[in-house]
Structure 1
Amino acid sequence: MTGNDSRRHSIMQMHLHRYTYYHQLILLILAVGLLVALPTQAATLTAEQAYQKGKILHFQDRFEEAEPYLLQAGESGNASAYYLIGDGVDGGYINILAAMSTKEYTFMKLAAENGHLLAMLRLVYYKSRASQSEKERWRNKLRQVLKPHAQSGNPLALSFLSGVALSEEDDGENFEYAVKAAYAGHPRSQYYIASEYENGEGWFFLPGSREKEVAKLYEASARGGYHDAIWYVGVTKVKAGETEKGMQILNVLIDKGDASKISTLGLMLSDLPDFDEEWVYDDKILGSTYMRASAIAMSDSDDTFQFFNEEAISLLTAEENQQVDQLTEEYLRTHTVYRQDGLDEFEYTVDNLHTALERWGGNAIE
């Protein structure tokens, strides 16, 4: 090693030490602060119980309340818990164009280092705080992990490879992997490709074949448990006059406690002005009940749920309002309401990726 090389190596080691020390210090400060604020009942929870409680609070937009529980779970080796802490920094919404904060980066990196696949993807997107060399390292790691699974037809591995291509702005490969994921059985990809075909993407030579393929993809996505697809299929049937069948499908989402779907269906059923003129079914008591349940369950940080609840209340008589109160209480006694999509892809890691083939392989489309 030359003198210059030796000096360069020493400087790199020094910066690496500073970098590692800096992030360890951040974690120590966060950990101490959160442990001081740790709710009394958290001390009696196992790591898994803490994770489940933190996860629900996170998806009720109660990010500060969720954080101590998730930190407890993360320190016990739960990579998804670290991911959710990082995800909560931006209000629980993935925005690959928004600049990543230091805290988000710290916890995404912790999750990625523990094998979390979506965290690795978040670190390679455009606005990640990761350096270019770090981004490339995570891309290589993702390819190394995902490609063997993709060759075996793993739907989630194919979908994540689509995300890797997106991070490199390779639209062709991004779409190609999304199509492969869809036909391998991945519900979110099926929904995405259905909407792309519906909007004119792809070539279909026989009359009516495009419409048949779109319907097939939406149905498969709903069958695979993706809530947006279940919503699409149910609403489409109600609008087509199959009200009973459509409402049976939508009730799947009500039973699961999907906050955004409950609130939206409540709005459509209520006496508030319809935002979809083709919707033909109303039930203001049921609609008001759904909006009230969402408003009670979800954090006040997003006043959308509360706004629509108050609007619906203004259209009820005192007797109707009392009835809605009773129905809401009964519903919340047996249901937990929070944001969800039915797939929970944020819980997949290097170690459990193989289970996605078992979960969705049977949902493949010929």
Structure 2
Amino acid sequence: MTSEAQHWYEMAAKNGSIYAMIQLGRKSDDLCNKLENLPASTETPAAWLTNAKNLTLAKANDGDAESSYLMYEITLDDQCLEKSANAGYPLAQYWMAVNERQGEGFFLIPGKREASVKRWLMLSSEGGNPKAMMDYLEILYAEGDMESVAAGLKWQLPPGAKPQSAITAPISRTLQTKLATHYNWLKVTHSFHC
């Protein structure tokens, strides 16, 4: 996190942004912080996470799906993630799929893990999560379900575009995001400037 990013995160956090509080709460693990290139924060990372938890807990206990996901981000308690996913929060559903794909959870019967991952990705895709859409389409492609893949690729078309113009359509937002994410990953992993 750069000093400019820290400034804006703190401004957002002071205005009630839970997401900003979580980022500031994780600042102690940040490479720039370890290199001691950041100015002192107005609060400690633990205080930011405590503030975020205090603001989020009541809504999460009332069953709010996004608040349950935020509690997962704050506490890293998998039960909060599962509660949020079961309540229909697409980002939580995506992370349930990722966690299960990486071996979390207990599945006794062969094939149940893959079926659960597919189900979470389908639900998250239906909720509009672009990463889940791409992962779900990849599973459908591997299964040979080309009809569903073709239908799913229509999600990627710009509004108003006809399916036959998909090849010449402008680059999709999903692809733009993936490219930007990859570019930022390259920048971060190959540069230590803060």
d(CA) in 2 for partners of 1:156 and 1:192?
A: 13
- Distance change in 2, residues 1:210/1:237 (3 Å): closer
> What is the TM-score normalised by the length of structure 1?
0.40
Correspondence list, 1:335-354, <5 A? 339=177
Correspondence list, 1:115-264, <5 A? 115-125=16-26, 126=28, 127=30, 129=38, 131=41, 133-166=43-76, 173=77, 175-255=78-158
- Distance change in 2, residues 1:338/1:212 (3 Å): closer
The answer to whether structure 1 residue 106 and structure 2 residue 21 are counterparts is no
Cα offset for 1:142? 0.8
d(CA) in 2 for partners of 1:286 and 1:252?
A: 11
Cα offset for 1:244? 3.1
- Distance change in 2, residues 1:207/1:236 (3 Å): closer
Higher relative contact order (CA 8 A, sep 6+): 1
Contact in 2 for aligned 1:178/1:189 (Cα 8 Å): yes
Give unpaired runs (5+ residues) of structure 2: 179-194
Contact in 2 for aligned 1:187/1:226 (Cα 8 Å): yes
Cα offset for 1:243? 2.0
d(CA) in 2 for partners of 1:191 and 1:245?
A: 19
Q: Based on CA coordinates, which of the two structures has the bigger radius of gyration? A: 1
Task: Give the residue type in structure 2 aligned to 1:103.
Answer: E
Task: Give the residue type in structure 2 aligned to 1:165.
Answer: T
Cα offset for 1:190? 1.3
CA deviation profile, 1:323-346 (whole Å, cap 9, x unmatched): xxxxxxxxxxxx9x9539xxxxxx
d(CA) in 2 for partners of 1:157 and 1:239?
A: 35
1:339 aligned counterpart, secondary structure: helix
1:153 aligned counterpart, secondary structure: coil
Cα offset for 1:150? 0.8
Cα offset for 1:135? 2.2
Using the aligned pairs only, state the percent identity. Answer: 24
Contact in 2 for aligned 1:236/1:246 (Cα 8 Å): no
Cα offset for 1:188? 1.6
> What is the TM-score normalised by the length of structure 2?
0.71
d(CA) in 2 for partners of 1:207 and 1:338?
A: 37
Task: Give the residue type in structure 1 aligned to 2:5.
Answer: E
Pairwise CA RMSD: 3.0
